[in-house]
Structure 1
Amino acid sequence: MPTTETTALTTALERDYGLPGAVLERLPIGQVTVNYRARFPDRAVLFVKHYPAGADLAAERSAIAQSRLAGEHGVPVATARASLDGQVITEHDGHAISVWEWVEGRTVEDGLNPAQQRAAGRALGTIHRAFVGHPAAASASSKLERWMNPDIQKLEATVDKLLGMVNERAQRDDFDEQALRTLAERRAVLHRIPGLIAGLPELSTQVLHGDYSAVNLLFDGDTLTAVLDFLPPDPFLTAYELGRIAFDPRAVVLHEDWITSGVRLVGAYLETNPDLPAADVRACARVALLQLMTSLYGVKQHYMEPGLLQDDLDQFWLLRHAAAQRLLERLEEVEAALGEAAARHGR
């Protein structure tokens, strides 16, 4: 049944892209944009992103340019289709959309297998090598200083506030009980964050993909068919992006051999970006751990401002928390394995 929103989008597709007769199906993916599969009378299929009101469309256009740049260097990406007047994002009557060629594939929700790990690692290495000389790299990172100096007292206060909100509920459901447990566990280890940061070596920064995670990788079997959802160029720790995918929470929690898996992905990365310093390689798991420990993403939204797909965010919080616990317990072992991987690749 068409809605006011889908009617506006089908009108935009015909008017701005010369694509009449679209039938839109909303997809249950994405926490920022509302996403659709668009089917047309000639059986063509496209992907449509509908941006929320107030979205920074200049930044979104910059992100699309990043995707194109990666594609020019051989990374499999989805292709944004330009409108009839050459725009990658069109705006009319409060609606802004981009239109993309449909790419077959699926996201892997239970941890990448060895072939997929190697594909993901090689693609990320190619992206970093392509972006290393990006003009935006000369600017100061907008978030690195904050990341290196997290406000632990504020984190503790937020955890305490969330615990209070859960405890005040007259009736608690299963997620409330899990939130009480995981928030208490997180509260108990926040004091370790400064020491973990102090143990970091000097690390390199550059322009990154920005959100290189399993949900933004499409696979057809073991073949990586597309890297999706690049962010605007903003230099940050190279080790952050490598560690985030190598020690993806799904792999860390769901696979017993997660250390071997992570090191395998890092090794594949070094095949296409062999110049990454050994210090960055060894530190990537610690950086990933720190990102997890300082984030309340998912549980915070649940109690303060629910997201578009909050059930997914709830499960993501539980997954990320469990991954943080495992990484913290075995960090010394992980870093030793990463050091050996760097040495094998001559770093």
Structure 2
Amino acid sequence: MSTPSQQPAPHSVAAPSTPGRTAEGDQIMAIADTLVLAYGLHPAETTRIPEGTATVNYAVVAQAGRRHFAKVYRTREHLDPERTSVELSEYCADGGVATARATRTRKHELIATHGRLPMSLWSYVPHTATAEGGLRGARWAAAGTGMGRLHARLAAHPAVAPTPEPGAAVCDVAASRDRFERLIHAYEHRPRLGEFEAWALQAARERQAILGDVERTLASLPQLTVQILHGDTAGPDVLFKDNEVAAIVDFRPPAPGYLAWEIARLGCDPKSVLDNSAESRLTGYTDLTLACRDANPKASADDLASSLRVGRAAMLCSAFPLSVPVGRSHIVDAAMEAYGRVRHEAALMLLDRLPVIEEALRDALH
């Protein structure tokens, strides 16, 4: 995920010398070429930001002193959906949603494709912190306001009109059960397991054992709203300046999904769930939901009241990142392992505390 406010890595490159220059130096030079060719922008300093999966991200300071955020795409194969993601961000910005603005090329393109590197250039959102682990106090309500405004704008997107769909279809429990069985089998047949792999195996067994409860939870859900969503409102993609949402960034291509899940995706940010006391979690999630309703009056009470139930089910059904050492071991690092443990612990905590939180939430909404 790319977050324009992330602090740059401690090293930066302005213009590496040609003899023996590094791969990073070559990348910096290619970025500079594209900035000049496509945007008419001459960089004074370009700094790698240690975030990003689909993109490699850089903070750019132009010679005139203005700061920018550059997203360099790893491949040219999927630029069409990437372009629709940028268009969705622009659509929301045009509707008054707080988000970063894309800078168009000299040819008025959202993604530069004619230079050495395909890339998009964005306004830089300074002095911000992500919502990951940071939902506390007044930020709960601010996050709800930002989310409500976002969803109100996306409800008017011409691609899909909001429609009611069975809540039980939020997750495919049968597919999740098969996924966990395959994952457990893969771990059990390895000659040896590292510390994280052994933990992931135990966590997968715990998840598999409670899928019956998840299935009953899903069966109890009412009709819920499906509409165009941001697509990835995790904590790192919501930027705060003090206690206000400065920008919601890193949109996915426009696609319909359950409104309740996107609310829970942010409200149940694992680090925030674990870093708050039980009382703070209860008050905070209620504040978020009420603020979301105030900013998006058309949101149904069922979407808001069921969001915790939906979020818990989705978290428990997901094998990520427990499955990463099996399918994508090359991306396993300390941060991924820590996130896996936190996400699992938060999902189990929500399982235990759901009745209390949900009862208080329904009382506040009615």
Query: Match of 1:98, as an amino acid?
Result: S
Aligned equivalent of 2:259: 238
Query: Structure 2 matches for 1:133-282, cutoff 5 A?
Result: 133-138=156-161, 147-148=169-170, 150-152=172-174, 154-169=175-190, 172-256=193-277, 257-282=280-305
Cα 1:136/1:144, change in 2 over 3 Å: farther
C-alpha separation between the residues in 1 aligned to 2:100 and 2:264? 24
Tell me if structure 2 keeps the 8 A contact 1:298–1:310. Answer: no
Aligned equivalent of 1:6: 28
Query: Structure 2 matches for 1:1-347, cutoff 5 A?
Result: 1=22, 2-92=24-114, 95-104=117-126, 105-138=128-161, 147-148=169-170, 150-152=172-174, 154-169=175-190, 172-256=193-277, 257-306=280-329, 308=331, 310-343=333-366
Cα 1:336/1:137, change in 2 over 3 Å: same
> How much has 1:30 moved relative to structure 2?
2.0
Report the aligned-residue RMSD. Answer: 2.6
Structure 2, unpaired ranges of 5+ = 1-21
> How much has 1:233 moved relative to structure 2?
1.7
Structure 1, unpaired ranges of 5+ = none
Cα 1:112/1:55, change in 2 over 3 Å: farther
Cα 1:94/1:184, change in 2 over 3 Å: farther
Q: Percent identity?
A: 28
Query: Match of 1:73, as an amino acid?
Result: G
> How much has 1:171 moved relative to structure 2?
5.0
Tell me if structure 1 keeps the 8 A contact 2:148–2:294. Answer: yes
Aligned equivalent of 2:13: none
Tell me if structure 2 keeps the 8 A contact 1:247–1:258. Answer: no
C-alpha separation between the residues in 2 aligned to 1:81 and 1:139? 30
Cα 1:151/1:200, change in 2 over 3 Å: closer
Tell me if structure 1 keeps the 8 A contact 2:173–2:317. Answer: no
Query: Match of 2:290, as an amino acid?
Result: G
Tell me if structure 2 keeps the 8 A contact 1:16–1:83. Answer: yes
Q: Secondary structure at the match of 2:214?
A: helix
Tell me if structure 1 keeps the 8 A contact 2:129–2:240. Answer: yes
Q: Secondary structure at the match of 2:323?
A: helix
Q: What is the TM-score when the length of structure 2 is the normalising length?
A: 0.85
C-alpha separation between the residues in 2 aligned to 1:139 and 1:238? 9
> How much has 1:3 moved relative to structure 2?
3.4
Q: Secondary structure at the match of 2:118?
A: strand
Cα 1:139/1:316, change in 2 over 3 Å: same
Q: Secondary structure at the match of 2:230?
A: coil
Of the structure 1 ranges 22-31 and 292-301, higher mean CA displacement relative to structure 2 is found in 22-31
C-alpha separation between the residues in 2 aligned to 1:123 and 1:138? 21
> How much has 1:297 moved relative to structure 2?
1.4
C-alpha separation between the residues in 1 aligned to 2:70 and 2:89? 16
Query: Match of 2:37, as an amino acid?
Result: R
Tell me if structure 2 keeps the 8 A contact 1:302–1:310. Answer: no
Cα 1:147/1:9, change in 2 over 3 Å: farther
> How much has 1:31 moved relative to structure 2?
2.2
Query: Match of 2:300, as an amino acid?
Result: P
The number of aligned residues is: 341
Query: Match of 1:46, as an amino acid?
Result: H
Per-residue deviation, residues 85-129 of structure 1 (Å, max 9, x unmatched): 111101136731000111111214323122111111101111111
Tell me if structure 1 keeps the 8 A contact 2:237–2:250. Answer: yes
Query: Match of 2:285, as an amino acid?
Result: G
Query: Match of 1:224, as an amino acid?
Result: V
> How much has 1:61 moved relative to structure 2?
1.8
Q: Secondary structure at the match of 1:49?
A: strand
C-alpha separation between the residues in 2 aligned to 1:97 and 1:270? 36
C-alpha separation between the residues in 2 aligned to 1:138 and 1:317? 35
